[in-house]
Structures are given as structure tokens and as C-alpha cells.
């Protein structure tokens, strides 16, 4: 007997279908983390690295309240696969997943004012924060690690070692590309500290560059996201920039047949009427879970340990449990059924300053932050994180998935950094004609719906 997985939601004002797309983006944002969580490690002896990476972790819902300074020197022996090191790697995974859940909740709150599709890479954001953590000390470092849900027993050296271990495992697949770089402004005459550069090169394979042009940074981002993200910085070059990029591309293990893709109803929020969207359909055997809270399914990709998880909340709610609970619920045998999934693409561009501040990271965004480990003497007073930008894109179709993300952290002294801007009039806007010398308003208007482009051969001009 075939169980239908998707169903037409009732046409009601608060229908969840828009949130369905949002949750799809969230679920797939975690897809690169899914493969290392399947059975808990035994307490008597830590398993090998790959096994610990596949074990489910119980999310630590309580933030750590204390942290050591992490100022101890890097120990090369931590690169060995010791039981203690493997345990750190497993906890690293739980911490990053917890950070992803918490940050997502904050971003959803920020976007409630104007609901739209949202897509992020918690892993990219976390790795960029780890680059930053190596360049700060004291309270500045403590706040970053607490936001990332790292237990207080974690030292900086253990976090660096676990980061390298996890990224090495992910990078074994040619479907994934994780890259890091650090940039210093040539005219600012400030240099990264030697130890800081060496540590990031050793544990994060970060390349160090000097430039006065943001176009050089953007070009690097473009190359390392395979052209999916063409820029991350605008305006003046900050004195320092820390960058992480993440790229994923893979076919489905079981591809959707294009012949079965047809326009089917989709119910955006705030309307009784559906819109017709191209929806893929596949019949097969899947790991699927259903409860009163949500439905979820695992969709594997070809030739790699990566899966997509699609989560569908009930029609009268937008809430889903924590990722760790969802993943644990999907450790079930396969069953026959049908999955109907819209083809979609989502692109998000976000400033993370407000969200990270809400996560408890405050010192680094002010001149009171301690960046001594990052910078060679003389120390530039007033240095602070002035920009934290995240961009992510995803495209899902019958063949597979392409996803890319970049996180850039720009640091400058307050008097020396003028951020660029991008104003996009993609919603109703007001328009004035003003005599500038007199400040006299001569005309004014509002544009709520510009003239639609007339398609030519199925495409717009």
C-alpha cells in the first residue's frame, strides 16, 4: 500500500504553505551536517572519527556560562585520533547544530515583519566565527564560543583541532568545497599577527592576502562558490576581512522524472487562492516519519554522505522541533510512499550583526573588543567588527541540488570604515521630484505595482 506523503493544505488565511518553503530551505541548509549523526558513542571508548561523525547528538539546550581563555599554545599532538579528540569532534557537531537552531529562530523573528523565503548555512557562519575567535581573547572570545554552544571545557586548541577533523571528513567528497581566507588592507598598514595567520593556515587552511580592493575579495568568493555568489562586500575595503565559503553540488541518488513534473497548487500565506508551481513527484522507498507535530523525509544524494531533509509542519502551525529531534526521528526503516516537492530556488543576503548580538556576541562589535591576537603591534585602538554579512543560494530540481554560501566579517577602526550599500526597489516605493536648492517638493507619488514584463517565448525581456 502506498502512503501519500504530501497533501493539499486547506485553503485558509493562515495556511502554512509559504512556511513550508521556508522550512525546506532551513532543512536543506543543514544537509551537509546530516551524515555524521546515527548512533550515540559508547561511554567506555570513543569510536573512530567517521563513526562519531555519524552518531546522533542530544542538543545541549543550556548555553555554557563559563569559558577558559583558550590562550594555551596549539598542540600538534591533538591532530591524532585520540579518544578525547574524537569526543571533542562529536561535541563540536552538537554545538554547531545547536547554534544553527538558535540562530535560525532569531532570523525568523527578524523576518516576521516581511515574510519571505530564507536560506542560510549555519556551518559557514560557525566557521567564520571560529576564524574570528582565534583573533580575540578574554570576554570577546568567551561570547563567541558561548554563542556557538561550545562547552566551557573546550579550549581554543581543541576547537581548532575538531574543526579541522570535521572539515577534512566533509572535504573527502568532491561534492563539497569549504574554503577560508583572511584579507588585510594594504593602505591601512596593519598586519595580521604571525601566530594568528599560522594557526588559521594550519587548522582552517586559510589563505592570507593583502589588497585595497573589495573586488579582489569578491573575485575570490566568486571562484570558490563556482560562480553562484558574485560579491559579498561593497564600498570601502575594511582593514581586515575574514571569509568562509561553502559550495555543494550533487545529483539525487534517485532522480525525479521530468515527465512527472507538472504545475500543481501551492498555497502562499495570506490568500485563499493557490498558485500553480512546478512540482516534482517521486514514488519509492524512503525513510519517513510522521507525528502530530510534523512530517519529515530523507532524500539522499548520489555518491556522497549527504542527504536532504524536508520537514512539513501541520497546516495550523509554523513550528518544528529542534533539528536534533527531527534527525533522531528519521532513524527509521524505509517505507514505500510518494513525495511531491516543488522545484525551487532561494537566495538570501543578510547582515548578521543584530542576530549575533541577540545570541550574546557583543564585545567584538564595539571598540572594547580585544583583538590583540589578530593584529601585530602597534595595536590599533578602536578596532571592531563593523560588518558581518552572509549570503546563501540554493537551486533544487529533478536532477539534484546546488547550494553555496559565504560569510564575511569586516573589521575596521570606527573612523576609517564607510560601508557600501545596496538599495533594491523590489517592493512599493514613494517617488518625489524636489527642487534641491529650495528643498521644495514639486511632485510626489507611490509605485505599488510596476507594469509586468510581457513574456516572449516563455521568457521576460
Which of 55, 60, 59, 61 has its CA nearest to residue 43? 55
- CA max distance for the chain: 80
Please tell me the predicted confidence (pLDDT) of residue 108. Answer: 85
Cell reading at 188? 591601512
Sign, CA dihedral 222-225-230-236, equals: negative
Contact 182, 216 (CB under 8 A): no
pLDDT at 81: 42
Report the C-alpha gap between 381 and 175 in whole angstroms: 43
Helix (H) or strand (E) holding 28: helix 17-29
> Which of 55-59, 291-295, 397-401, 418-422 is the most confident on average?
397-401
Q: Number of C-alpha atoms within 13 angstroms, CB side, residue 376?
A: 10
Phi, psi of 288 (to 5 degrees): -135, 140
Whether 235 shows a pLDDT value over 70: the answer reads yes
Query: In this structure, what are the phi and psi dihedrals at residue 378, rounded to the nearest 5 degrees?
Result: -75, 145
> In angstroms, how far is CA 290 from the centroid of its own chain?
26
**Predicted pLDDT of residue 169:** 87
pLDDT given at position 423: 60
> How far lies 23's CA from each of 105, 113, 220, 255, 340, in Å?
11, 17, 30, 22, 15
Q: Residue 152: its pLDDT value, please?
A: 86
pLDDT above 90 for 260:
yes
Residues 6+ apart with CB under 8 A from 80: none
pLDDT at 187: 87
**Under DSSP, is residue 316 helix (H, G, I), strand (E, B) or coil?**
coil
Residues 6+ apart with CB under 8 A from 425: none
pLDDT in tens, 331-382: 999 999 999 999 988 899 999 999 999 999 999 999 889 999 999 988 888 8
Q: Each residue of 45-94: pLDDT tens digit? A: 222 322 223 332 333 334 444 343 333 222 333 333 444 445 556 788 88
Do 406 and 244 touch, CB atoms closer than 8 A? yes
Quote the pLDDT of residue 276: 87
pLDDT at 295 over 90: no
Q: Which of 18-22, 64-68, 323-327 has the highest mean pLDDT?
A: 323-327
Q: Which of 86-90, 259-263, 306-310, 387-391 has the lowest mean pLDDT?
A: 86-90
Question: In this model, does residue 302 exceed pLDDT 80?
Answer: yes
What's phi and psi for 165, nearest 5 deg? -65, -45
Most confident of 19-28, 80-89, 124-133: 124-133
pLDDT confidence of residue 201: 97
* Cα–Cα distance for residue pair 306/250, rounded to 1 Å: 9
Rounded distance between C-alpha atoms, residue 81 and residue 47, angstroms: 10
Task: List the end-to-end C-alpha distance of the chain, in Å, as a whole number.
Answer: 48
C-alpha cell at 133: 575567535
User: Rounded to whole angstroms, what are the CA distances from 137 to 18, 67, 155, 344, 351?
Assistant: 42, 11, 12, 42, 24
Q: In this predicted structure, which of 31-35, 287-291, 406-410 has the lowest mean pLDDT?
A: 31-35
What pLDDT digit, counting tens, does each position of 172-213 carry? 889 999 999 999 999 888 899 999 999 999 999 999 999 999
> Cell match 575579495: residue?
217
* Residue positions counted in the chain: 461
Distance CA 444, CA 181 (A): 47
- Which pLDDT band, with edges at 50, 70 and 90, does 415 fall under? low
Q: Which residues contact 373 (CB under 8 A, 6 or more apart)?
A: 134, 135, 136, 137, 193, 195, 196
Mean pLDDT of 30-51: 34
Whole-model pTM?
0.78
What domains can be seen in the chain, in order of their start residue? 17-251+346-413 (3.30.497.10)
How many CA atoms are closer than 13 Å to the CA of 379, on its beta-carbon side?
A: 14
**What was the pLDDT predicted at 223?**
98
Amino acid at each position: 500500500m502506498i502512503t501519500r506523503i504530501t497533501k493539499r493544505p486547506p485553503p485558509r488565511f493562515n495556511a502554512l504553505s509559504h512556511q513550508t518553503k521556508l522550512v525546506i530551505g532551513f532543512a536543506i541548509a543543514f544537509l551537509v551536517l546530516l551524515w555524521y549523526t546515527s548512533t550515540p558513542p559508547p561511554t567506555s571508548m570513543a569510536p573512530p572519527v567517521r563513526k562519531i561523525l555519524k552518531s546522533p547528538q542530544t542538543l545541549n539546550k543550556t548555553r555554557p556560562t563559563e569559558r577558559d581563555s583558550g590562550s594555551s599554545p596549539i598542540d600538534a599532538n591533538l591532530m591524532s585520533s585520540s579518544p578525547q579528540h574524537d569526543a571533542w569532534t562529536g561535541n563540536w557537531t552538537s554545538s554547531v547544530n545547536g547554534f544553527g537552531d538558535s540562530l535560525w529562530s532569531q532570523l525568523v523573528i527578524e523576518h516576521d515583519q516581511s515574510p519571505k523565503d530564507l536560506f542560510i548555512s549555519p556551518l559557514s557562519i560557525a566557521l567564520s566565527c571560529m576564524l574570528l575567535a582565534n583573533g580575540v581573547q578574554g570576554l570577546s572570545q568567551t561570547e563567541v564560543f558561548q554563542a556557538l554552544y561550545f562547552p566551557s571545557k573546550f579550549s581554543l586548541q581543541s576547537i581548532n583541532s575538531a574543526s579541522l577533523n570535521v572539515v577534512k571528513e566533509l572535504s573527502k567528497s568532491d561534492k563539497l568545497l569549504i574554503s577560508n581566507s583572511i584579507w588585510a588592507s594594504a593602505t591601512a598598514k596593519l598586519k595580521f599577527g604571525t601566530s594568528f595567520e599560522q594557526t588559521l593556515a594550519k587548522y582552517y587552511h586559510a589563505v592570507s592576502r593583502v589588497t585595497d580592493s573589495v573586488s579582489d575579495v569578491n573575485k575570490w568568493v566568486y571562484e570558490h562558490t563556482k560562480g553562484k555568489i558574485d560579491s559579498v562586500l561593497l564600498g570601502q575595503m575594511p582593514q581586515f576581512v575574514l571569509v568562509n565559503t561553502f559550495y555543494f553540488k550533487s545529483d539525487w541518488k534517485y532522480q525525479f522524472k521530468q515527465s512527472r513534473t507538472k504545475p500543481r497548487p501551492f498555497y502562499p500565506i495570506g490568500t485563499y487562492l493557490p498558485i500553480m508551481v512546478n512540482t516534482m513527484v517521486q514514488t519509492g522507498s524512503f525513510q519517513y516519519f510522521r507525528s502530530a507535530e510534523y512530517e519529515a523525509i530523507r532524500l539522499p544524494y548520489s555518491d556522497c554522505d549527504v542527504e536532504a531533509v524536508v520537514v512539513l509542519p501541520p497546516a495550523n502551525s509554523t513550528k518544528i522541533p529542534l533539528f536534533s529531534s527531527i534527525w533522531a526521528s528519521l532513524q527509521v526503516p524505509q517505507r514505500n510512499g510518494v513525495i511531491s516537492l516543488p522545484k525551487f530556488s532561494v537566495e538570501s543576503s543578510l547582515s548578521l550583526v543584530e542576530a549575533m548580538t541577540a545570541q550574546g556576541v557583543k564585545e567584538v562589535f564595539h571598540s572594547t573588543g580585544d583583538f590583540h591576537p589578530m593584529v601585530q603591534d602597534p595595536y590599533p585602538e578602536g578596532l571592531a567588527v563593523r560588518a558581518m554579512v552572509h549570503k546563501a543560494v540554493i537551486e533544487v530540481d529533478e536532477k539534484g541540488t546546488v547550494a553555496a554560501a559565504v560569510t564575511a566579517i569586516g573589521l575596521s577602526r570606527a573612523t576609517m570604515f564607510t560601508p557600501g550599500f545596496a538599495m533594491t526597489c523590489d517592493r512599493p516605493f514613494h517617488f518625489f521630484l524636489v527642487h534641491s536648492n529650495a528643498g521644495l517638493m514639486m511632485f510626489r507619488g507611490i509605485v505599488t505595482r510596476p507594469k509586468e514584463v510581457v513574456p516572449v517565448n516563455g521568457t521576460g525581456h
